[in-house]
Amino acid sequence: MDSEDANIISLPSRSESSDDLLSPLEQDVIDEYERLAKNMNKASWKTVHYWSSSQLMSLQFALVLKDMAEKPMTEVLDGLRQLERKTGLVFTLLKASVYSIVLQQEIYSGDHKIDQNNDQSKQQQ
C-alpha cells in the first residue's frame, strides 16, 4: 500500500474545538464524509481526461448556464445581446463563404463549357 492509500484509509486527527461540540464518534463520521468528498472530487476530475470533447462542451455549457442563472437579469440580457451580435456576424460570414463557393463553381463550370465549345469548334474545322 502506498502513502496515498494510507492517507485515504487513516482517520485524520480531530481539532480541540470540535471535541467540545461533537462526540468523538460524530467527529469521526464527519471526518470520514469529508475525506470521501475529497476523494470523490479527485476521482471526478481524473475522469474528465477520459471524456469526449462533446461531453466537455456539455459540461462547459452547463457551467455557463449556471453562471448566467446566478447573475442579475440585466447582465444576462447584455450577454445575450453580445452573443446575438456574434452569431449574426458568424452567419453573415458563412453566407459570404457559401456565396463565394457558388460563384467559383459557376465560373469553373462556365469556363469548362467554353472550353468544350472551343474543342467542338476545332473538331468541326
Please give the pLDDT value at position 4: 45
- 7 found inside a domain: yes
- 65 found inside a domain: no
- 80 found inside a domain: yes
Q: Clarify whether residues 115 and 77 are in a common domain.
A: yes
- 78 found inside a domain: yes
Please give the pLDDT value at position 122: 66
Q: Clarify whether residues 86 and 37 are in a common domain.
A: no
- 56 found inside a domain: no
Q: Clarify whether residues 75 and 119 are in a common domain.
A: yes
- For residue 2, give its domain range: 1-50
Please give the pLDDT value at position 26: 82
Please give the pLDDT value at position 87: 93
What tens-digit pLDDT sequence spans the chain (125 residues)?
444 444 444 444 545 554 567 788 888 888 888 888 887 777 766 665 666 677 777 888 888 888 878 888 888 888 889 989 999 999 999 999 999 999 999 988 887 666 666 666 666 66
Please give the pLDDT value at position 7: 43
DSSP the chain: --HHHHHHHSPPPPPHHHHHHS-HHHHHHHHHHHHHHHHHHHHHHHHGGGS-HHHHHHHHHHHHHHHHHHS-HHHHHHHHHHHHHHHHHHHHHHHHHHHHHHHHHHHHHHHHHHHHHHHHHHHH-
- 123 found inside a domain: yes
- 16 found inside a domain: yes
Please give the pLDDT value at position 12: 46
Please give the pLDDT value at position 28: 82
Please give the pLDDT value at position 93: 94
- 62 found inside a domain: no
Q: How many domains does the chain have?
A: 2
